[in-house]
Amino acid sequence: MSVLNVNNIKKNFGKVEVLKGISFSLEKGEVISIIGSSGSGKTTLLRCLNFLETPDKGTITVDGKVIFDADNKKKMSDAEIRENRLNFGLVFQSFNLFPQYTVLKNLTLARELMEKNKKDGLSKQQITDEALELLERVGLADKKDSYPCQLSGGQQQRVAIARALSMKPAILCFDEPTSALDPELTGEVLKVIKELKESNTTMIIVTHEMGFAKNVSDKVIFMADGIIEEVGTPEEVFDNPKSEKTKHFFSKSFENI
Amino acid sequence: MGFWNVTLSLIGGLKYTCLIFALTLVLALPLGLVIAFGSMSKFKPLSYLIKTFVWIIRGVPLMLQVIIFFYVPGFLFGQPILTRFASVIAAFVINYACYFSEIYRGGIESISKGQYEAGQVLGMTKLQIFFKIILMQVVKRILPPIANEVITLVKDTALARVVMIVEIIQAAQNFAAYGLMWPLFYTAIFYLAFVGILTLLFGHIEKKFNYYKA
Ligand SMILES: Nc1ncnc2c1ncn2[C@@H]1O[C@H](COP(=O)(O)OP(=O)(O)O)[C@@H](O)[C@H]1O
Ligand SMILES: [Mg+2]
């Protein structure tokens, strides 16, 4: 059974139809890359999965449980939304770390608030230990007491990845994780994502790093004007694109190189 | 009329200056937050109502507002509702709450949407996001303009004279009836000391927030 089933998601902003019926599924441990020109709706799709936007149509199913159904109009409570969105983690293009907290506190803040409300929640010490382990994984254990403003962009984004992992999402989403970085800093972030792939983390990655997408993905989705124009293995999409739009996009993407 | 006599009278006036200052701050700082949330409300009629109110309060001289609070109820109901002192406090609190509300609003709106969204995707509640993430960043940003207003308030307390509250300037002016002008100039020392202490205090608080940049 797929870990994620997205079925016919539609989203309008006013009269503009930004997502025109997106469907795809994702297996456990799989990595999907989403590529496409800017304005094609990639960010909106990730925001819908993370409940930052409410789709106008469609369903989202995680592990066989429908967590969103636009037609079933019964209003979800805030608590339900919070529980459902924790199936997903989101790494933002602009990191969005909390500037007033140390790296470690950035990782433990939300987790501590959540565990406090459980009957047999984890202790602060256990949460801290888990956070330190995550920092180790992204290679920043020595920065645990630093503040975000003392880190480079690449380090901040690695902290943001660790922070997203701290809530143990089933599916980790990335929205152009390296677009805000200087070119020499993208490598360290991509390396972390690659290592996550090797430890079977299920991921959806929106990216403009074509080489990376080809390398790390099990499946590639090419989006254009709010629809999935083409989907397939990296070899299929990158080496033998069928759609004219895909071909056109690649010729534009690579013409500057 | 010796130096010590004058000093003692001025200190008597200073008591009112300090009382107006302290009561205004204690009441206007929280009231300002309520007004700020009102003016940011998604319920448009409320937000327009509050914005109009803030415009009126900020558009009319504080001195006039003090006079209105003291005299107008008298005209309308045949007798004053508020004592002199209470009408000063009411006018000051409402006036300063409106100024504070605009500072709060600017501060809250200056925090990027990404900070809220980062909290949301980590499963935090709206209240947790406001109190654990947003508030401290807002406080850091609004400290300088708040310090400005607080220092202005010290000197605005002199407006209480229009309804015969004997604050420090009025206390000094009473000596002018005896041909003594220097007590009036002497009050400047008290104001400077007051503002000096506040400047040091705010400098100290701002330094506490300097450990991070945002
Ligand atoms: N909150 C919003 N309100 C109105 N229009 C929006 C909003 N968010 C995105 N859009 C529009 O939706 C389209 C898709 O945006 P986006 O999902 O950010 O695309 P991408 O991430 O692929 O560049 C764009 O035309 C954008 O202007
Ligand atoms: Mg985008």
Judge whether B104 lies within some domain: yes
CB contact under 8 A, B214 and A99: yes
Residue A226, ligand 1, Cβ within 6 A: no
Between CA A81 and CA A88, with CA A82 as vertex, the angle to 5 degrees is 95
User: Closest residue of A to B116, CA-based?
Assistant: A96
Ligand nearest to the CA of A249: 1
Residue nearest to atom 2 of ligand 1 (CA): A13
- pLDDT > 70 in chain B, percent: 100
**Largest Cα–Cα separation, chain B:** 71
The distance from CA B104 to its chain's CA centroid, rounded to whole angstroms, is 13
Structural domain harbouring B22: 3-111+142-208
Inter-chain residue contact A78 with B133, CB threshold 8 Å: no
Strand A219-224 relative to strand A31-35, pairing? parallel
Chain B contact present for A164, CB below 8 A:
yes
- How many A from CA of A93 to the centre of ligand 1? 14
Tell me how many residue pairs between chain A and chain B have CB atoms under 8 A apart. Answer: 65
Say yes or no for a CB contact (<8 Å) between A92 and B117. Answer: yes
Per-residue pLDDT tens, chain A, 257 aa: give them: 899 999 999 999 999 999 999 999 999 999 999 999 999 999 999 999 999 999 999 999 999 999 999 988 677 888 888 999 999 999 999 999 999 999 999 999 999 999 998 888 899 999 999 999 999 999 999 999 999 999 999 999 999 999 999 999 999 999 999 999 999 999 999 999 999 999 999 999 999 999 999 999 999 999 999 999 999 999 999 999 999 999 999 888 776 55
Q: Indicate if ligand 1 lies below 6 Å from the C-beta of A207.
A: no
- Specify if B203 maps to a domain: yes
Section B107-126 average pLDDT: 96
Query: For residue A73, what pLDDT is reported?
Result: 67
Q: Return the pLDDT at A136.
A: 96
Separation of alpha carbons B142 and A30, rounded Å: 46
Distance CA A13, CA A55 (A): 10
Residue B211 phi/psi, 5-degree rounding, is -70, -15
Question: CB B112 to CB A82 under 8 A?
Answer: no
Residue of B173, B178, B164 whose CA lies nearest to B16? B164
Distance B42 CA to ligand 1 centre (A): 23
CB contact under 8 A, A98 and B118: yes
Q: Is the Cβ atom of A43 under 6 angstroms away from ligand 1?
A: yes
Mapped onto helix, strand or coil, the DSSP state of residue B182 is helix
Q: Which residue owns the Cα nearest ligand 1 atom 17? A: A41
Number of domains in chain B: 1
Nearest CA in chain A to B132: A109
Residue B50 has pLDDT above 60, yes or no: yes
CA distance B143 to B135: 12
Give domain status of residue B165, yes or no: yes
Strands A227-232 and A203-206: unpaired
Residue entry with tokens 């009411």 = B90
The answer to whether A190 and A217 are in contact (CB under 8 A) is no
Q: Which residues pair with A221 in a beta bridge?
A: A34, A231
Tokens describing residue B7? 């000093």
Distance CA A164, CA A177 (A): 13
Instruction: Write the DSSP string, A9-51.
Output: EEEEETTEEEEEEEEEEE-TT-EEEEE--TTSSHHHHHHHHTT
The ipTM, to two decimals, is: 0.94
| Contact residues on chain B for A90, CB-CB shorter than 8 A | 121
Q: Is A13 in the pocket of ligand 1 (CB under 6 A)?
A: yes
Sign of torsion over alpha carbons B117, B122, B125, B128: negative
Q: Greatest CA separation found in chain A? A: 58
Token code pair at residue B200: 């040091």
Reduced to 3 states (helix: H, G, I; strand: E, B; else coil), residue B83 is: coil
Ligand 1 centroid–CA A197 distance in Å is: 28
Q: Which chain B residues are Cβ-neighbours of A148 within 8 angstroms?
A: 212
Q: Is the CB of A52 under 6 A from ligand 1?
A: no
Helix, strand, coil distribution of chain A in percent, nearest 5? 40, 25, 35
Q: Are B121 and A98 inside 8 Å of each other by CB?
A: no
For residue B141, the SS3 value is helix
CB of A54 within 6 A of ligand 1: the answer is no
Is A32 exposed, middle or buried, given 0-12, 13-18 or 19+ CB atoms closer than 10 A? buried
- The arithmetic mean of pLDDT across residues B166-193, rounded, is 94
Nearest residue of A to residue B126, measured between CA atoms: A78
Decide the pairing of beta strands A4-13 and A57-62.
Answer: antiparallel
| Residue A244 near residue A60, CB atoms below 8 Å | no
Domain A4-93+169-255 classification at class level:
alpha beta
Report CA(B27)–ligand 1 centroid distance (Å): 44
**CATH of residue B90:** 1.10.3720.10
DSSP for A105-137 reads HHHHHHHHHHHHTSTTPPPHHHHHHHHHHHHHH
Sequence-ordered list of residues with C-beta below 8 angstroms from that of A183, at least 6 positions apart, any chain: none
So what's the pLDDT on residue A120? 87
Name the closest residue on chain A to residue B133, using Cα atoms. A98
Q: What is the pLDDT of residue A257?
A: 54
pLDDT at B82: 80
Residue A7: strand, helix, or coil: strand
User: For ligand 1, atom 27, which residue shows the shortest CA distance?
Assistant: A39
Residue B44 is which amino acid? Answer: K
Q: Are A104 and A131 in contact (CB under 8 A)?
A: yes
Which residues have a Cβ under 8 Å from the Cβ of A202 and sit 6 or more positions away?
Answer: A3, A4, A26, A27, A28, A29, A30, A31, A170, A171, A172
Interface of B with A (CB under 8 A): 112, 114-115, 117-126, 128, 132-133, 136-137, 140, 211-214
Q: Give the DSSP H/E element, type plus range, for residue A230.
A: strand A227-232
